[in-house]
Amino acid sequence: MAILLTLVSCNETEYSLGDLTAPSNIVINAEVVGKDATHPNGDGSGDVKFTITADKALSYKIDYDASTPVDMVFLANGKVTKKYTNVGVHTYTVTAIVYGAGGTSSVVTKDVTVRSDFTPSADIVTALTNNSSKTWVVDKSVPGHFGVGPWSATSIRPEWWSAGVNEKVSSANCFYTATFTFAKVAATGNYELKVATPDGAFTKTGSLTTLPGIPSSGDEGCYNYPGGTSAFSFVPSSSGAPAAPSSPDNSPSTQTAILLAGVNTFIGYGAVQKEYEILVINSGYLYLRVQGTETGNAWYMKLIPKP
């Protein structure tokens, strides 16, 4: 009884979460690099310096373009420089989420208009298209023809997983039989990609792909897909990877990417993102990476001209 009375008489400590007011007075400051009276949309680099400020803010996330799949990027201090790569003058709706105490959050959007100028190397155009038309396939005969690593400007390799020779033959042979024909249209100077998939498209399902007719659920694999044709353009890579040195074995990037128009074509793997960074290219070899369907992932692919 004495012990019970002692326990009952103990003081209880009260805890409080404090003020859970969501962040307020959110401002997205967007400095378009090179913008002046003569260049109202910037200097053509496509670079925009973002600074997000708010009262009672603890952390920040940003989505750079409302017209593409949502990709909220964490900003440690509310500051970042983004390179927009769509060639020409484009307006992007930027969304910022600011988090406060107890998980509270506030959202604000801002439209940013910026110009991106880019002329690809003639050597890259020739290697990819033969200045007319050229068909490529995934090279199943070499290790590392498919791989996964972080989407990073400093780690430019499939450090998480790398395929062995013929890795997908038994489980997803469509990965190897699909063809990708890159063409330079002589009449206009524009570029076109034609995808043919006699055994289906190698892709994920549901929201993890943009390809038409793919089921809403299911494992990664081969799915019926009628093929497709779309325009594409060469753009500066948005990854921030440094320029390639002279040795191909150590070259992280050409700083050039293939940007597919629309959502009905792909290269190798049916990713949601449509910017395929060219890491290495010559007349007989094409090494690409694309930002994976899962945030933070990069998918690597090695292709060769169709035999």
Over the stretch 262-298, which tens digit does the pLDDT of each residue have?
889 999 999 888 999 999 999 999 999 998 877 789 9
pLDDT-derived band at 154, boundaries 50, 70, 90: confident
**Both tokens of residue 94?**
């930027």
pTM for this model (two decimals): 0.74
DSSP per-residue string spanning 169-193: HHHHTHHHH-EEEEEE-TTT--EEE
Instruction: List residues bridging with 75 in a β-sheet.
Output: 60
Q: Give the mean model confidence (pLDDT) for residues 84-113.
A: 92
pLDDT-derived band at 249, boundaries 50, 70, 90: very low
**Both tokens of residue 60?**
């920040």
Contact (CB, 8 A) for 282 and 127: yes
Q: How far apart are CA 244 and CA 221, in angstroms?
A: 33
The more confident residue out of 305 and 186 is 305
Cα–Cα nearest to 114, from 25, 261, 233, 238: 238
**All structural domains of the chain:** 24-116 (2.60.40.10), 122-305 (no CATH)
* Average pLDDT along the chain: 89
Q: Give the mean model confidence (pLDDT) for residues 11-15.
A: 58
pLDDT-derived band at 20, boundaries 50, 70, 90: confident
Q: DSSP 3-state helix, strand, coil percentages of the chain (rounded to 5)?
A: 10, 40, 50
Lowest mean per-residue pLDDT among 4-8, 80-84, 167-171, 250-254: 4-8
Lowest mean per-residue pLDDT among 56-65, 255-264, 292-301: 292-301
Lowest mean per-residue pLDDT among 30-44, 76-90, 130-144: 76-90
Lowest mean per-residue pLDDT among 65-69, 168-172, 209-213: 65-69
Compute CA distances 296 → 12, 148, 151, whole Å. Answer: 45, 10, 5
Residue 153 has pLDDT above 60, yes or no: yes
pLDDT of residue 86: 82
Residue 115 has pLDDT above 90, yes or no: yes
Q: How far apart are CA 122 and CA 118, in angstroms?
A: 12
pLDDT of residue 21: 85
Give the ranges where the chain is alpha helix by DSSP (H). Answer: 2-9, 122-129, 169-172, 174-177
Q: Give the mean model confidence (pLDDT) for residues 256-263.
A: 92
Query: Tens digit of pLDDT for each residue in 195-226?
Result: 999 999 999 999 888 999 999 999 999 999 99
Sheet bearing 47-55, strands edge to edge: 24-32, 47-55, 79-83
pLDDT of residue 14: 63
Neighbours of 138 (CB within 10 A): 26
